[in-house]
Amino acid sequence: MDNVLTYMTFIPLAGAVVVLMLPNNAKVIRWFSAAITTPPLLMSIWLFNQFDRTKAGFQFVEDYYWIPAYNISYTMGIDGVSISMVLLTALLSFLCIFASFGIDKAVKGYFALFLLLDAGMMGVFCALDFFLFYIFWEVMLLPMYFLIGIWGGPRREYAAIKFFLYTLFGSVLMLLAILALFFTVEPHTFDMRIMMAQASKYSAQVLPIWPFDQWGWGFQHVVWMAFFIGFAIKIPAFPFHTWLPDAHVEAPTAISVILAGVLLKMGTYGILRVNFPMLPVATADLAYWFLGALGAWNIIYGALCAMAQKDLKKLVAYSSVSHMGYVMLGMASFTTQGINGAVLQMFNHGTITGMLFLLVGVVYDRAHHREIEGFGGLATIMPVYTGVTALAFFASMGLPGLSGFISEVLVLLGVWQRYPVLTILGASGVVLTAGYLLWTIQRVYLGPPNEKYLKMPEINGREMFTLVPLGVIVIIVGVYPSVVLDLLRASLDQLNQIIIPHLKS
Amino acid sequence: MDLKNVASLTFFLPEIIVSVTILLLIVLDLIAQSKRSLALIAVAGCAAALIATLDLYSAQPGWLFHRMIVLDNFSLFFKVFALAATILCIWMSLGSNEIKQVHQGEYYTLLLTCALGMFFMASSSNLLMAYLSLELVSLTSYVLTGFLPRNRRSSEAALKYLIYGGVASGTMIYGMSWVFGMTGSLDYGAIQAALGGTVYNKAALFMAFVFIMAGFGYKIVFVPFHMWSPDVYQGAPTPFTAFLSVASNAAGMAIMIRFFFPGVSRMAPGGDWASLSGVEWPQVILFLSMMTMTLGNLCALNQRNVKRMLAYSGIAHAGYMMMGLAILSNEGLSAVLFYIVVYLIMNVGAFLVVGMIANVTGDEDIENYRGLAWRGAVVPAVCLAVFLFSLTGLPPFAGFIGKFFLFSAVIKQGGAFAVLAVVAALNSVVSLYYYAKIVKTMFLDSPNPEDKTISGLGQ
């Protein structure tokens, strides 16, 4: 299985082209799309088996010439930072195809764009060449714009362009930062591995220009910031988060799942892949305020916003903002527990929030609204549905025995060793989370059933099929987290070792 | 190689072929029954000139006609470019309803004359030649802009174009006279030698360069010489607008590079250029470049007419290209040339679709694009979306590679140029808004019931 990463990336792309040529029969297109996302899923299981858990470096590396004049190569490979994301992407893409079976407007276009999006996401996590990385990063924008804009809800146009503008703003800064790094390494190259190896070339000497001389920023800090803004928009970190609730509320269910499950992870993944190993001095200097404090603020702010929401989907969207805060906080601690917890939280958030959005989709398909106050007593009408929902809500809340608990505890354990104050703030977020989730359960599922929805049909087989795998993963990781943690540890420890020497005091 | 008049003629074949084609068109216009055949003859002439031009690529570089014009790959590049733009324009004109109502013989004659003028613009190495070629292009452009006889916008545009053009070229020739007065020569080589040898009054030279820049800037369409462009783009026949937007811009770029780089600067061994006279003209360009891209993009945001919007977007793109000049390096220049080619493809492509839709709906108002993809025009809509996203500079489209080369040339110079790169990058984000507005109208909006279904597109 040489070039397995290339297959995983380009099979969906080839599928997108084939979908355009298929006859205009919705059934054929849906099942073909499901079939085309199966091989990447199987390959990801194979990767999970073959991945060498003791090695910190890149594995399954592919390296080919592409544009030699600019030293751009086609380089793919994964390590502990990216493998969990690759697994998550393969799984969610497969499941979301099934979650999209309800789409009936321009089916061909939808599935072609979806597969294109799938290819872009997989490519971002596998690319080791910065140019390639950037191309994949941007290629995702177009399908996402159309998927939200054409198949979304009433305010879809606004949401789609807002998402597009925010992300492009971040990525043009990233492009300039990439070029700045490119011209500093010798020989000039876009190979991320060489950029990491030559991290000491990026000067941290304070620049004599206002305002950088006031802040004590060097070249490295400025570049760090450019990357950080690009990634923070994707995470989304406060104050760049405002596109997220809009995009989530308007996007169709499957796209919300992808957005929360995979796209948000790209932000934190990018910080771990780029900012940490390539700009270690700046990371050590800026992590407290821009990752740690901002992360803690994200946790609390997101939770408070979620509490105020009347729309079920918007509530889940803000809970994403809150949960991604744990990832940022954990990364900033530079301890084994903290960083492992952060990456595990990325994985867990993908599965748990995926479930939450699918569950919201189930009830929206039946009631055609998502007002929290408009329901009530769903537990008696749809007991099975309510059971699955409870599992997802408790996992999101961080109930012991479910996956969310493990990652949040690891993060807080790790951060405690370095920033006690931030830990207290972050831990208070757990209480707020429990607050809004339990309150929501009470309002939507408990109490007397709403007369209007007495006849609401129970969750069907297709919907269960998309939810069960995620639920099983949530329980397995909750009981035996080493399944995922073993994949990460070696690479993440090495990452910590790069930063720790540069920490002050 | 410095050739006399007769010896030059062998290397002058492309120009001769175009001239013969022009004369042929004038004669044939009197006797030909089908006007379509005139277009085909014009295309054939261009194709022959194209072959002759490509053949010259292996020729030894040198001066022709007593150092009046230069023969080198730089000028050949722009000749190929002008011919390609002309062929595309003629091809677009064949399908355009606007052009069917006018005197086609004269139309193609003038178009080829304009292309001929661009040949000279790209290859002139003498201020006199530069002025004459620029005027040749301008005069034919005025006429072609006003070529729709019963269209008030077209006539208004032509008049505005003429007045602005007259002022700009007057300013330019005034600046040229200053240069001539100080250095005593019109020849670029002699000017360079004089500037390298003697110290001149910096203020006077600076003024002269700024005056000359006015004339060039009016062709490239940079701020503050851009006012004519939205009206002219909107009023002129669409195929000619497409031609004007790329070819006129490119020729202006060529004449500007020709004068400011080998003319008044010196190349260091590393590929960087330095101003000979100590006059800071690159900083003027740097400043104007930022102004141009910002103003172009901001004005484009609220346009309702797609042609007018593309005019402002063209101003913004001129701004991006000027970055390549401001940084004074060979990388910057080659990035500009690459960008011009990419710009030709994407901009003409966009105008092609705009023209096709205007043929059916009558004008270019953005309302006509509502739900285009759902009205039976999926292929044109998708093509236009691709061209617009390419203009934005999104990968995996060519526009991204063009911007990538430009940005990388700017970042390589480092220092204060990083600010320029940041301004340009933020401008691309702004430009996404209005390009995406067209895409939004085509794909995201549902068509009104009274909108016509568009069929029979895609000739």
pLDDT of residue B105: 86
pLDDT of residue A262: 92
Q: Is the pLDDT of residue B218 over 60?
A: yes
Candidate from A157, A172, A183 with C-beta closest to B428: A172
Q: Which residues share a beta bridge with A191?
A: A129
pLDDT of residue B458: 45
Terminal-to-terminal C-alpha distance of chain B: 48
Nearest-CA neighbor of A238 among A289, A164, A286?
Answer: A289
Secondary structure (DSSP) of B397-427: SHHHHHHHHHHHHHHHH-TTHHHHHHHHHHH
Amino acid at B455: S
Q: Is the pLDDT of residue B450 over 80?
A: no
Q: Is-cis flag, bond preceding A40, omega within 30?
A: no
A76-80, A166-170, A242-246, B30-34: segment of lowest average pLDDT: B30-34
Q: Which backbone phi and psi does A461 adopt, to 5 degrees?
A: -60, -40
Parse chain A into domains and list their residue ranges: 288-505
pLDDT of residue A475: 94
Q: Which residue has the tokens 């800071």?
A: B280
Q: Is the pLDDT of residue A149 over 60?
A: yes
Candidate from A150, A173, A180 with C-beta closest to B443: A150
Parse chain B into domains and list their residue ranges: 280-459
Report helix, strand or coil for A226: helix
pLDDT of residue B454: 66
A179 touches chain B (CB under 8 A): yes
Q: Count of H helices and E strands in chain A? A: 24, 2
Cα B4 vs. chain centroid, distance in angstroms?
31
Nearest-CA neighbor of A114 among A132, A134, A95, A131?
Answer: A95
- For chain B, percent of residues with pLDDT exceeding 70: 98
Mean pLDDT over B165-174 rounds to 93
Q: Is the pLDDT of residue B254 over 70?
A: yes
Secondary structure (DSSP) of A64-102: EEEEGGGTEEEEEEE-HHHHHHHHHHHHHHHHHHHHTTT
pLDDT of residue A505: 64
Q: A402, A326 in Cβ contact below 8 A? A: no
pLDDT-derived band at B459, boundaries 50, 70, 90 = very low
B3-12, B96-105, B212-221, B396-405: segment of lowest average pLDDT: B96-105
Q: Is the pLDDT of residue A90 over 80?
A: yes
B400 touches chain A (CB under 8 A): yes
Whole-number Å distance between alpha carbons of A497 and A339 = 12
Whole-number Å distance between alpha carbons of B328 and A356 = 56
CB–CB contact A161 B440 (8 Å): yes
Report helix, strand or coil for A117: helix
> Measured between beta carbons, which residues in chain B are less than 8 angstroms from residue A165?
429, 432-433
Mean pLDDT over A225-237 rounds to 92
Q: B256, B326 in Cβ contact below 8 A? A: no
Report helix, strand or coil for A413: helix
The continuous run of DSSP H or E covering B209 comes out as helix B202-220
pLDDT in tens, B328-353: 888 899 999 999 999 999 999 999 99
pLDDT in tens, B103-113: 888 899 999 99
| Inter-chain CB pairs, A–B, below 8 Å | 69
A131-135, B323-327, B362-366: segment of lowest average pLDDT: B362-366
CB–CB contact A139 B411 (8 Å): no
Residue A348: how many CB atoms within 10 A of its CB? 32
Q: Which residue has the tokens 């088996």?
A: A49
Q: B41, B81 in Cβ contact below 8 A? A: no
B395 touches chain A (CB under 8 A): yes
pLDDT in tens, A293-309: 999 999 999 999 999 99
- For chain A, percent of residues with pLDDT exceeding 70: 100
CB–CB contact A146 B429 (8 Å): no
Contacts of A405 (CB under 8 A, 6+ apart): A395, A398, A399, A478
A163 touches chain B (CB under 8 A): no
The shortest C-alpha distance from B411 to chain A (Å) reads 6
pLDDT of residue B396: 86
State both tokens at B345.
Answer: 């493809």
Mean pLDDT of chain A: 90
* Mutation choice for B interface testing from A168, A185, A223 by most B CBs within 10 A: A168
pLDDT of residue B33: 79
Candidate from A134, A173, A183 with C-beta closest to B411: A183
Q: Is the pLDDT of residue A41 over 60?
A: yes
Whole-number Å distance between alpha carbons of B197 and A79 = 62
Q: A183, B412 in Cβ contact below 8 A? A: yes
Q: B277, B264 in Cβ contact below 8 A? A: yes
The shortest C-alpha distance from A82 to chain B (Å) reads 23
Buried b (16+ CB within 10 A) or exposed e, A125-158: bbbbbbbbbbbbbbbbbbbbbbbbbbbbeeebbb
Whole-number Å distance between alpha carbons of B459 and B173 = 45
Q: Which residue has the higher pLDDT, A179 or B415?
A: A179
Contacts of B444 (CB under 8 A, 6+ apart): A149, A150, A156, A157, A160
pLDDT-derived band at B455, boundaries 50, 70, 90 = low
pLDDT of residue B360: 82
In the 8-state DSSP scheme, what is residue B445? S
| Cα pseudo-dihedral B180, B183, B184, B185, rounded to 10 | -70
Q: Is the pLDDT of residue B251 over 90?
A: yes
Whole-number Å distance between alpha carbons of A138 and A172 = 10
Report helix, strand or coil for A141: helix
CB–CB contact A160 B444 (8 Å): yes
CB–CB contact A161 B407 (8 Å): no
3-state secondary structure A396-411: HHCCCCCHHHHHHHHH
The shortest C-alpha distance from A70 to chain B (Å) reads 10
pLDDT of residue A187: 85
CB–CB contact B440 A157 (8 Å): yes
Cα B292 vs. chain centroid, distance in angstroms?
15
- For chain A, percent of residues with pLDDT exceeding 90: 60
B389 touches chain A (CB under 8 A): yes
pLDDT in tens, B135-155: 999 999 999 998 888 888 889
Mean pLDDT over B21-35 rounds to 88
Whole-number Å distance between alpha carbons of B263 and A442 = 79
CB–CB contact B394 A157 (8 Å): no
Q: Which residue has the tokens 């055609």?
A: A368
CB–CB contact B445 A141 (8 Å): no
Contacts of A321 (CB under 8 A, 6+ apart): A236, A238, A241, A244, A298, A301, A302, A305, A306
Q: B83, B49 in Cβ contact below 8 A? A: yes
CB–CB contact A168 B432 (8 Å): yes
pLDDT-derived band at B452, boundaries 50, 70, 90 = low
Q: Is the pLDDT of residue A200 over 80?
A: yes
